[in-house]
Structure 1
């Protein structure tokens, strides 16, 4: 599925109009210094960045593959630092540049196993020792609509169970929690919680948030 790449045409088109909703659990960041270097990877239009800034975090930056989403973010919050990822998943920063990295509803947009591992490896690189990786993503849904989508896409393309296509032209992946734990095998898991979210297409779904620390 690596041919899907970053699906940049989708994110620069209809995807750039979407509203993102995964909530930030600020309790998990309670012990993080407000001068901590924070990166929102896959920041979209900066919704999470804005929330962190409004709660007193002073060094927040965001990167995304979509120039259209980055442009939207700059219009909404010209005070925040945005950058386009030119060669994803690579971040143009030195190793150990960040104390916290957020990855909100990003792995769902990267359906390929190898591409997910490459992304998390890059985030491990840019995190300082002891740094936190905060993931929020959608888990496998058990309703008929989603089961049918998983089965249909898997039969057509041999994709892992949980991969599906949306009506507006994107390919996403919902995960078994064990898959997310495996992606984080190089980290120490700090905390985990289940939440309900509204997807960008307006459907209520189950999700999971994971807080992990770089050894």
Structure 2
């Protein structure tokens, strides 16, 4: 399961052409200011970064494990700072380098519990004291289609309930809220809201957004 935290072959081929849709609530970043040091971890092709830049945020960096997605982002947004992450989740930044980190639809791409915890620990390291972590990710869906594939995948591969394979070959995870809250044990939860998104394969789904402050 741990290798499924990377899945570079998928993201450099099929995944490199996907469209990502999780909305950004700019009000949640109001307290850090337009000059805040912001990291978009798993930035893909820079969609969220471009939106932040367009609203006046001047110090935004992005990393992603997929060279193909980074190349797409650099072509579309040559003014953005986009870098390939060579050894995820390890980041090439010193401790307390950022005032805010965005993690949009990233945990869904990391099915393994230990790999998720390792990522959050690295984000804790690079966040300054009092820094913000803004997560947007997928929750467990309650429709029959999703329930059936959660159960089938868990039984076959002994994975956490909510993990499944998409029709085009990615292994992803939808989360129980208790799982997400447990990942944030080093944070104070400030805001939580449900939202509707369209998945990268075009399905309407329910997601959650969490804003947390590093203690």
Instruction: Report the TM-score, using the length of structure 1 for normalisation.
Output: 0.99
Single out whichever of 109-118 and 24-33 deviates more from structure 2. 24-33
Alpha-carbon distance, 1:110 to partner? 0.3
Output one character per residue of 1:5-35: Cα deviation in whole Å (capped at 9) or x when no partner.
Answer: 4000000000000000000001111222111
Alpha-carbon distance, 1:157 to partner? 0.3
Per the alignment, in what secondary structure is the counterpart of residue 99 of structure 1? strand
Alpha-carbon distance, 1:4 to partner? 2.1
* Structure 1 residues 137-176: aligned runs within 5 Å: 137-176=137-176
Per the alignment, in what secondary structure is the counterpart of residue 141 of structure 2? coil
* Partner in structure 1 of residue 116 of structure 2: 116
* Partner in structure 2 of residue 54 of structure 1: 54
Structure 1: 4+ residue segments shifted above 4 A: none
* Partner in structure 2 of residue 206 of structure 1: 206
- Determine the C-alpha separation between the residues in 2 that align with 1:119 and 1:178: 18
8 Å CA contact 2:5–2:111 kept in 1: the answer is: no
* Partner in structure 2 of residue 196 of structure 1: 196
* Partner in structure 2 of residue 73 of structure 1: 73
- Determine the C-alpha separation between the residues in 1 that align with 2:27 and 2:100: 14
Instruction: Determine if the alignment matches structure 1 residue 100 to structure 2 residue 100.
Output: yes
8 Å CA contact 2:5–2:112 kept in 1: the answer is: no
Alpha-carbon distance, 1:163 to partner? 0.2
Output one character per residue of 1:135-162: Cα deviation in whole Å (capped at 9) or x when no partner.
Answer: 0000000001101110111111000100
* Partner in structure 1 of residue 10 of structure 2: 10
* Structure 1 residues 24-39: aligned runs within 5 Å: 24-39=24-39
Per the alignment, in what secondary structure is the counterpart of residue 200 of structure 1? coil
8 Å CA contact 2:42–2:64 kept in 1: the answer is: yes
Output one character per residue of 1:149-186: Cα deviation in whole Å (capped at 9) or x when no partner.
Answer: 10111111000100000010010000011100001111
Alpha-carbon distance, 1:193 to partner? 0.4
Instruction: Report the TM-score, using the length of structure 2 for normalisation.
Output: 0.99
* Partner in structure 1 of residue 132 of structure 2: 132
- Determine the C-alpha separation between the residues in 2 that align with 1:65 and 1:116: 15
8 Å CA contact 2:165–2:172 kept in 1: the answer is: yes
